[in-house]
């Protein structure tokens, strides 16, 4: 193995002068033309510093003590370099810097840990993780890799280099260069946070860069169809088969509350007969919670419509469902053709079920929560809005009760 070139240079940082005029001493390690710098924890009078020698030029007791400490740091760095050579490990300026601070991370990098994590997630898809989750981690890895190249002009970074500033700069990068909205950026930051937690749990880093960082999601009021809009879409016929299929799948979700991935994976074995009425009984892929939904007549009709569809027969499913991306693209066209001025997506069908189909028809929020497969009613409240018609129905109960009570 070729021996690494190694030098240590001491200098004073006049840009960080203290109020008393003293300036900190910095060490600059150079290994194979790569540098790492750090403050050694000593300050000096800049007038006493010998730039050529890289040490104090006076012979005072304090000067001798500092010069002795400089020799001590250099000898320890040299010792660490020899130890790395004996172990056959790669020698870098950053590794030698770590020795001074008592850090030993075995050269682990953020992208290395991230990649290992993602490979495990992919192998557990269908068991512990949904395909969408694996895809999000894959995308977050790519954003992290691109950010390191953009900000630091490097291909990877050691774990000990991930600090609060890295997290803050990454958030700024996602919102500016990647054009992510606040909630999307925070979701990626949470993905990265899991990788940091793995490093902390294994003792690969000692300080949590997220420790003083708090992110808040913005409240998002997703669109949903009103009764009038729902009927317009139900009565709209499309000559193009793909448009008709997308409309039918969307309406099926509006009348069952199923999420996209759950309707895509819906099989006939997920259907039960109760007192002559078909029910959907299945676990949600996202939360693994059971959802129990008695099927309304429009949903049953759509089910029967595609019973003999070649795609359904070949795949053993109940509806011919396109990818989520295609569904969302076609729904934009469908909304335009129906005169609906809303940004529709597959998820808005779930909101329509909660708000328009159930809650507006005085189905209790506890029942709605059970049908949606939520863990708590609080989660359901984000889906189901109290619309004006429902407010009016409830207020009718007390209209006139106090008309005669107010004295003139």
The pLDDT score that the predictor gives to residue 102 is: 61
Higher pLDDT, 308 or 382: 308
DSSP lists the bridge partners of residue 9 as: 28
pLDDT range class, residue 386, cuts 50, 70, 90: low
Does the pLDDT at position 140 exceed 50?
yes
| DSSP codes joined into one string, 115-157 | HHHHHHHHHTBTTTB-HHHHHHHHHHHHHHHHHHHHHHSSS--
Average pLDDT over residues 275-304: 90
Does the pLDDT at position 214 exceed 80?
yes
| DSSP codes joined into one string, 233-276 | HHT---SSHHHHHHHHHHHHHHHH---HHHHHT--GGGEEEETT
Segment 249-266, tens digit of pLDDT: 999 999 999 999 999 999
Q: Tell me the pLDDT of the chain averaged across its residues.
A: 87
Average pLDDT over residues 114-121: 95
Does the pLDDT at position 236 exceed 90?
yes
Q: Which of 102-111, 334-343, 370-379 has the highest mean pLDDT?
A: 334-343
Does the pLDDT at position 242 exceed 50?
yes
The pLDDT score that the predictor gives to residue 100 is: 65
Segment 326-335, tens digit of pLDDT: 999 999 999 9
Segment 177-212, tens digit of pLDDT: 999 999 999 999 999 999 999 999 988 887 899 988
pTM over 0.85: no
The pLDDT score that the predictor gives to residue 377 is: 84
Does the pLDDT at position 371 exceed 60?
yes
Look at 125-129, 154-158, 358-362 and tell me which has the smallest mean pLDDT.
125-129
**Of 281, 250, 266, 210, which is closest to residue 347 (Cα–Cα)?**
250
Please give the Cα distance from 248 to 311 (Å, whole number).
Answer: 15
**Conformation bin of residue 407: beta by default, left when phi > 0, alpha when psi is -120 to 50:** beta
Q: How many CB atoms lie within 10 A of CB 309?
A: 15
Segment 40-76, tens digit of pLDDT: 889 999 999 999 899 998 888 989 999 999 998 888 8
Proportion of the chain above pLDDT 90, given as a percent: 56
**Three-state SS for 158?**
strand
């Amino acid at each position: 193995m070729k021996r690494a070139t190694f030098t240590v240079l001491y200098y004073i940082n006049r840009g960080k002068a203290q109020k008393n005029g003293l300036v900190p001493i910095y060490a600059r390690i150079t290994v194979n033309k790569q540098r790492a710098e750090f403050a050694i924890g000593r300050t000096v009078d800049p007038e006493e510093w010998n730039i050529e020698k890289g040490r104090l030029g006076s012979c005072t007791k304090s000067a001798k003590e500092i010069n002795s400490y400089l020799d001590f740091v250099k000898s320890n760095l040299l010792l660490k370099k020899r130890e790395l050579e004996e172990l056959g490990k790669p020698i870098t300026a950053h590794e030698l810097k770590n020795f001074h601070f008592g850090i030993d991370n075995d050269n682990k990098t953020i992208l290395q840990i991230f990649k290992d994590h993602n490979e495990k997630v992919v192998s557990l898809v269908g068991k512990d993780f949904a395909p969408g989750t694996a895809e999000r981690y894959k995308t977050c890895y790519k954003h992290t890799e691109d950010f390191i190249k953009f900000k630091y002009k490097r291909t990877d970074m050691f774990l000990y280099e991930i600090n609060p500033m890295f997290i803050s700069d990454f958030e700024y990068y996602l919102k500016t260069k990647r054009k992510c909205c606040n909630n999307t950026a925070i979701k990626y930051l949470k993905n990265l946070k899991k990788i940091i937690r793995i490093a902390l749990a294994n003792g690969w880093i000692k300080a949590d860069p997220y420790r003083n960082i708090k992110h808040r999601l913005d409240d998002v009021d997703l669109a949903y169809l009103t009764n009038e809009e729902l009927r317009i879409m139900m009565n709209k016929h499309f000559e193009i088969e793909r448009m008709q299929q997308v409309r039918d799948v969307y309406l099926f979700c509006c009348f069952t509350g199923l999420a996209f991935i759950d309707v895509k994976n819906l099989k006939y074995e997920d259907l039960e007969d109760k007192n002559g009425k078909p029910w959907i009984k299945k676990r949600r892929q996202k939360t693994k919670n059971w959802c129990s939904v008695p099927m309304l007549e429009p949903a049953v009709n759509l089910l029967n419509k595609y019973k003999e569809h070649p795609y359904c027969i070949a795949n053993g499913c109940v509806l011919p469902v396109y990818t989520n991306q295609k569904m969302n693209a076609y729904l934009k066209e469908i909304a335009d053709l129906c005169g609906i001025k809303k940004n529709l997506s597959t998820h808005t069908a779930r909101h329509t079920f909660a708000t328009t189909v159930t809650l507006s028809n005085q189905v209790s929020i506890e029942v709605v929560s059970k049908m949606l497969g939520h863990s708590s009613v609080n989660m359901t409240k984000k889906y189901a809005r109290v619309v004006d018609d429902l407010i009016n129905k409830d207020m009718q109960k007390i209209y006139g009760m106090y008309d005669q009570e107010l004295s003139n």
